[in-house]
Structure 1
Amino acid sequence: MADTPRSAPVSFSEFEAVTTTQWQERIRRDLKGQDPATLSWLTPDGFTVEPFYHQEALQALGGAPTPLVRTAPTWRNVPTYSVPAHDRGHKAIDRAAEGLARGAEGAHFLLSNAGTFDVHYLQQKLPLDGTYVGYSMRSGLGELVKQLQELQVTPRGFFVLDPITCHTPDIPGQLTELRSALAACQAWPEVHMVGINSAYYANRGATVTQQIAFALSTAATYLSELPKEALTAETVARALHLHVGVNPNYFFEIAKLRALRRLFATLLQAYGVAAEVAQQLPILASTSSWSQTTLDPHTNLLRVTTEAMSAVLGGATAVSVGQFDSLFHEPNEFSERLARNLPILLREEAYLDRVQDPAAGSYYLETLTDQLAHQAWTLFQKIEAQGGLPGATGLVLQELHASAQAQFRRIANGEQVVVGTNKFQNPNEQFDYNPKRLLRSREFDSTRAAYPTEVLRLATAMHFDRRERKKKRSAVVLLGAHTNQHILESFLLTLPETERPELRNAHPEGTLSLLFSSAEEAILMYATPEQYGRLARAINHIPIDEPDFIPPALLTADLPTMQEAIRVFGFQEFTVQGYSTEDVLARLQGKK
């Protein structure tokens, strides 16, 4: 319009321009003779990050890329609520209704059994014609859609079934179910039916590059397999919804979301779909469970803050912040309030919704976005060359396992810091939960990055408590696979350089790490999964041929029974030469 004021160009004329040569000279001077190349670092994604970037970085990209355009005025604040199996979801729905009354702008339900979820109660508490609701499930999509149709409402939100990512046994059957649901819901214009659960990989240690590539491969499968009869590739593309997990690597996570949109545009063009559809792709970004810890748990609040910031600055359309104590506490009003209010603070006090693409033009972030896009596209092509998903699932899981183990090793040797867990620990920390009950729980998430470190701390805390109280019982705690190697590496870091022997394999490949604990002694051990399974059955009086028994992480019995069982089933002791088990545990606890 003619009367719209023109924005004045931004300039800082009072500051003289500084050339790249001048910056480099200043860096060399500040390093006092040290080679500036030592400031470069190799990322887990396989490329190098330089110590600084200047205007030549954009020239190398062919000029500044076009900024991303947000299709909605701002992002939604969408808390997530878990609904256990055999639960109709009333408690979760009540909590969601309370959240909406206190600042949330939607609800995301994780359904263990979609068939039992009470949509009639949901409609009473959250009128579905005007409420943004998401549903994630492993099965039961068709039944849930049918129940929603019977309500005669026009819902808004998304569904995530994603049999490709979840490695469902009946992928053809679920693709048929997904295709039918998509065709039946054409009258729901504000519902995205084809959800991709990329958060699955973020919560299991995948690199940023892998997360992007795996999401693209999954999308390619749906774009290839779902179109049939009246369903076109464009219909499927417009129905896509992406659920991503966000970890604390601040700038990489911003660049991840920006690279995802660019590569989705490239992918859609290959299917004859306009690239503009990629700009409309809804992205729900959840703070990651992979980075959460039970030790010094208030540090989780710092992690979810940077993760949420990365999500909104990267262009997510919805943000779901996890509760800082969800690993060891039932849902509670205090932690839910903190999680719900964090996106509100980012918007209302930090004004993070005032700029379309805050990273646009940044020398570093534009370069990082480009590098991630190239690396991810290369991996995507590698997967497609092996037949794409689900045929290349073996390759994907192999890549995922390697990256997760690399992170475990970096945390064990201190290269990757988890504040409060492997560095800046609180040796006098008092747990406001029961470690014994937590380790017994089947819901305790043992897939996280900090698990090998924290489970040893929890187990040894139980041991020292048992010793002080002179309990007559003993325990075997399952620390997980490969944990003894991490224990060894962590222990060696506590020794003077002159005392550190060469690292060696802690125990044979494929075995499990355990801690045997009684009032008198604590011994690190290892065993095969079969040995541990037989021990667990014997201690719990379960028949040896019972197929559905899942061994818990904590086994307890009287001392003679446990000692005899360990001897019979052949557990092996893990030793660090020259140091007793007590010495190792005391050092790792920060007591020496």
Structure 2
Amino acid sequence: MSDSPRPAPVSFSEFEPLTTAAWQQRIQRDLKGADLADLQWTTPDGLTLQPFYHREALAALGGAPAPQVRPPHRGAPNAWRNLPALLVEPGQDGRAAIDHAARALQGGADGAHFDIAGADRFDLGYLAATLPLTQGVWGFTVSRQPEQFLGQLLAATGKTPLRGFLRYSPGPGTLPDDYAMQTQAMLRCLQLTRHLPEFFPLAVNGAFFGNRGATPVQQLAYSLSIAASFLDNLTAHDLDLDTTAVASAIHFHVSIGPSYFTEIAKLRALRRLWATVLHAFGVRPEVAATLRIHATTSSWTQTTLDPHTNMLRVTTEAMSAVLGGADSISVTPYDSLYAEPNEFSARIARNVPVILREEAYLDRVADPAAGSYFIETLTDQLAREAWALFQQTEAGGGFLVTRGKVMESIRLATMEQFRRIATNEQVIVGTNLFQNLKEQFGFDPKKLLRSRQFDTARAAYPSEVLRLATAMHFIRKEQKKKKAAVVLLGTDTIQQIYQSFVRLLPVADRPAMSELPAQGALSLLFSSAEEATLMSAQPEQFQQFADFIRNRPDDSEEDTVQMQYDAPILLACDLPTMQDAVKYFGFKEFTVSGYSTDDVLARLQGR
């Protein structure tokens, strides 16, 4: 408008500009002789970050990169959609989740993301009758027959111009490329939605990698490789379909961790790399600018111990997502690992993006990180490293061919994180540092360990399962139960137990570890009313032991719960049988000189 006030240029002329040399001189003075290089930070990807950046950093990049520009929403240059994630369990018709979505719209949400485990029972008619589908953004995750679900969705919604996305996620025990291999189903989904330019039926599930401990570079590279397989495979099976149509239907799902600046740079690097990939496929640059990114707060960083710390984690993760340029975001309720969905935690989660928009005004600037000496440099570093790994993956035949090597590389990255957590190099507040040893759990540890929904693919799992198993042991001891239990703590957890224990003792009293189990051994806790014993076993030993215990005719089904890949977390039976089985299958006892396992566990529990 001609009568609208024009923004005045920002000027700080009263401040004298400082050169890089002047800043460095001041830093050296403040360090009082300490070496500036000691403040360098190395990321899990091996990137070295400096403690200080100045204008020369942008010159090294060839000048400041152009800010990223996205289509405005609600007139805001950096708007995002607040989409609460609503889980629909198998056998449910989804009406409770749909009603929750209707209430969420009244509370500031912009739509919802329905994660539907049993799509055949989901009441799409109730969805169309209850929700104002033309006014929001709606996401749907299904585990099978995506083309059938999408056809039913479009039939139920009629001519409604849907905005949102479909994600095909086959479920636990599968690999993220499984949906990419369902070529005919994906082609049908694309054909069904050609008339819906703001509905994206092809999802690249990068969150799969992030929620299993992959580094940011791995997440970017492997996500791009899956997207490239879409561009290759779908056009090869439909000659009337070009790469522009496929690229326009793709959206990325990413998980956002707590490394604040790295996650901002990760999303910005993704947009740059996507433009590079599309250029290689001969797709027009303007198509890359329409990329949609849906971000979720990371399940990898969620904890059951001191769970209110999750509120802080998801807040910084949400900030990283919106500052990095996500188009929509789902914030996970802080108690989702152990509690049934409830209005309090759902409201807290829903309000995080609302506060960032309505009170922090983070939607007012198109690309808030643009021009930052540090973030622009980090974005460039991540993009370069991810592009090199992407090219390496493609040279090996692409993700579909190299997926075994890819998953092994992620496993190694995960094990390195577990090591860093065990040595306090990587901090999980409330779990491996600043623990509340007097914490009263808001759940039954035994019930949680038996739950098939308990998420074991998390950074905190080795630490917290020890605390949960220990609590269960002391409950068993107080109640003098006649049964015994063996709890699988995880891989190589005994090293962490030892290091956690000795940190609680004076230096002069710190005992030696009698013998360290072989690398890759499973760590176990054998627990009865009389005693607890830490043990280790090779995976095949434990599997044989588990098969024996589970197949006992007098054992009830509830005594066993499965981890992913059929590895049991908790096994229980009568004490004599358990003792004989542990001895027969050759489990090796772990000892700390001068301390029994009960002593160790009691000290770790603050008893």
Q: TM-score range by the shorter chain?
A: over 0.9
CA distance in 1, matches of 2:295, 2:22: 40
Of stretches 496-505 and 310-319 in structure 1, the one that deviates more from structure 2 is: 496-505
Corresponding residue for 2:139? Answer: 134
Q: Is the 8 A contact 2:144 2:169 kept in 1?
A: no
Aligned-partner Cα distance in 1 for 2:248–2:595: 62
Q: Deviations over 1:294-349 (max 9, x none)?
A: 00000000000000000000000101000000001010011111111111111001
CA contact (8 A) 1:297 1:325 kept: yes
Separation in 1, partners of 2:270, 2:296: 15
Match of 1:178 in 2: 186
What SS is found at the alignment partner of 1:361? coil
2:159 to 149, 153, 158: 153
Residue of structure 2 in register with 1:279 after alignment: 289
Instruction: Judge which range, 561-570 or 164-173, deviates more.
Output: 164-173
| Correspondences of 1:218-233 after superposition (within 5 Å) | 218-227=226-235, 228-233=238-243
- CA offset digits 1:394-438 (Å, max 9, x no partner): 121011111111111111110111111111111111111101100
Match in the other structure for 1:194: 202
The 10-residue stretch of structure 1 (63-72 or 131-140) with the greater mean CA deviation from structure 2: 131-140
Contact 1:427-1:590 at 8 Å conserved across structures = yes
CA contact (8 A) 2:221 2:386 kept: yes
Match in the other structure for 2:480 = 470
Q: Secondary structure at the match of 2:311?
A: helix
Alignment pair present for 1:579 and 2:579: no
Alignment partner, residue 212 of structure 1: 220
Superposition pairs for residues 215-364 of structure 1, below 5 Å?
Answer: 215-227=223-235, 228-364=238-374
- Match in the other structure for 2:76: none
Where does 1:493-512 land on structure 2 (aligned, <5 Å)? 493-495=503-505, 506-512=516-522
Give the partner amino acid of 1:270. Answer: A
Distance 1:503 1:575 in 2: 7
Separation in 2 of the partners of 1:31 and 1:579?
43
Partner of 2:125: 120
Cα distance in 2, alignment partners of residues 282 and 199 from structure 1: 14
Cα drift, residue 117 of structure 1: 2.2
Match of 1:34 in 2: 34
Letter in 2 for 1:347: R
| Alignment check: 8 A CA contact 2:437 2:604 kept | no
Task: Give the distance between the partners of 2:174 and 2:286, measured in 1 at CA.
Answer: 29
Are the counterparts in 2 of residues 162 and 196 from structure 1 also a CA contact under 8 Å? no
Identify if the C-alpha distance between structure 1 residues 15 and 502 changes in structure 2 by more than 3 Å, giving closer, same or farther: farther
Q: Tell me which residue corresponds to 1:425.
A: 435
Q: Please report how far the alpha carbon of residue 495 of structure 1 lies from its aligned counterpart in structure 2 after TM superposition.
A: 4.7
Aligned equivalent of 1:85: 90
Deviation string 1:110-149 (CA, Å, 9 cap, x unpaired) is 1223333221122122243444211112321011022123
CA distance in 2 between counterparts of 1:354 and 1:474 reads 59
Q: Which runs of 5+ in 2 are unaligned?
A: 74-78
Equivalent-residue separation in structure 1 for 2:483 and 2:219 (angstroms) = 45
State the shift of 1:460 in Å.
Answer: 0.8
Specify whether residues 171 and 195 from structure 1 end up closer, same or farther in structure 2 by C-alpha distance, changes over 3 A only: closer
For residues 169 and 330 of structure 1, do their structure 2 counterparts lie closer, same or farther at Cα, with a shift above 3 Å needed? same
Q: Secondary structure at the match of 1:404?
A: helix
1:435 maps to a residue whose letter is P
Using the alignment, how far apart are the partners of 1:502 and 1:217 within structure 2? 47
- One-letter amino acid of the counterpart of residue 231, structure 2: L
Instruction: Let me know the Cα RMSD of the aligned residues.
Output: 2.4
**Contact 1:421–1:454 (CA<8 Å) still a contact in 2?**
yes
Q: Quick check: 2:514–2:593 contact (8 Å CA) kept in 1?
A: no
Q: Measure, in 2, the Cα distance between the counterparts of 1:272 and 1:503.
A: 60
Aligned position for 1:519: 529
1:559 corresponding residue in structure 2: 575
Match of 2:456 in 1: 446
Q: Quick check: 2:231–2:247 contact (8 Å CA) kept in 1?
A: yes
Q: CA deviation at 1:191?
A: 0.9
Q: Which whole-Å CA distance do the structure 1 matches of 2:421 and 2:42 have between them?
A: 16
Alpha carbons 1:75, 1:319 under 8 Å: kept: yes
Deviation at 1:249, TM superposition (A): 0.4
| Shift, 1:511, TM fit | 3.0
How far, CA to CA, are the matches of 1:582 and 1:426 in structure 2? 19
Q: Distance in 2 between matches of 1:280 and 1:177?
A: 24
How far, CA to CA, are the matches of 1:485 and 1:503 in structure 2?
9
1:48 Cα deviation after fit: 0.4
Amino acid at match of 1:252: T
Paired AA for residue 242 in structure 2: T
How far, CA to CA, are the matches of 2:47 and 2:549 in structure 1? 49
User: Is the alpha carbon distance of 1:170 and 1:472 closer, same or farther for their aligned partners in structure 2, counting shifts above 3 Å?
Assistant: closer
Deviation at 1:534, TM superposition (A): 3.6
Q: Which runs of no fewer than 5 residues in structure 1 stay unpaired?
A: none
CA contact (8 A) 1:138 1:166 kept: no
Q: Which amino acid aligns with 2:591?
A: T
Residue of structure 2 aligned with 1:485, choices 468, 488, 495: 495
User: Could you tell me which residue of structure 2 aligns to residue 203 of structure 1?
Assistant: 211
> Alignment partner of 1:390: what SS?
helix
Q: How many angstroms apart in 1 are the aligned matches of 2:164 and 2:571? A: 44
Output the CA distance in 2 between the equivalents of 1:171 and 1:226: 12
2:248 is paired with a residue whose SS is helix
Inter-partner Cα distance in structure 2 for 1:509 and 1:130: 55
Q: How does 1:365-444 map to 2 (within 5 A)?
A: 365-444=375-454
SS of the residue 2:166 aligns to: strand
What per-residue deviation string (whole Å, max 9, x for no partner) do you get for residues 126-180 of structure 1?
A: 2434442111123210110221232223322101126799527966861111012
Q: CA 1:428–1:280 in structure 2 vs 1: closer, same or farther (change >3 Å)? A: same
Q: Deviations over 1:253-276 (max 9, x none)?
A: 000000000110111111111222
Name the CA shift for 1:466/1:97 in 2 (closer, same or farther; >3 Å). same
The answer (yes or no) to whether the contact 1:383–1:395 under 8 Å persists in 2 is no
- TM-score normalised to the size of structure 2? 0.92
Q: Equivalent residues in 2 for 1:44-83 (5 A)?
A: 44-73=44-73, 74-83=79-88
- Give the whole-Å Cα distance in 2 for the aligned partners of 1:173 and 1:213: 19
Kindly provide the amino acid, as one letter, of the partner of residue 198 in structure 1: G
Q: Does the 8 A contact of 1:115 with 1:140 survive in 2?
A: no
Q: Identity of paired residues, percent?
A: 56
Compute the displacement of 1:502 (Å).
Answer: 8.6
Identify which range, 27-36 or 420-429, moves more after superposition.
27-36
Q: In the TM superposition, what is the alpha-carbon distance from 1:71 to its structure 2 partner? A: 1.3
Amino acid in the other structure paired with 2:315: T
With over 3 angstroms needed to count, the CA separation of the structure-2 counterparts of 1:501 and 1:395, relative to structure 1, is farther
| Cα displacement (A) at 1:481 | 2.0
Aligned pair count reads: 589
Q: CA-to-partner distance for each residue in 1:193-220, whole Å, 9 max, x for gaps?
A: 1111111111110111111111111111
Given that residues 438 and 606 in structure 2 are in contact (C-alpha distance below 8 angstroms), is that contact kept between their aligned partners in structure 1?
Answer: no
1:143 is paired with a residue whose SS is: helix
Question: What residue in structure 2 maps to residue 101 of structure 1?
Answer: 106
Q: Following TM superposition, by how much is the alpha carbon of 1:535 offset from its aligned partner in structure 2, in angstroms?
A: 3.3
Deviation per CA, 1:91-115, whole angstroms, max 9, x where unpaired? Answer: 2222222212322111111122333
Letter in 1 for 2:225: S
Q: In 1, Cα distance between the equivalents of 2:506 and 2:386?
A: 41
Q: Distance in 1 between matches of 2:603 and 2:13?
A: 57
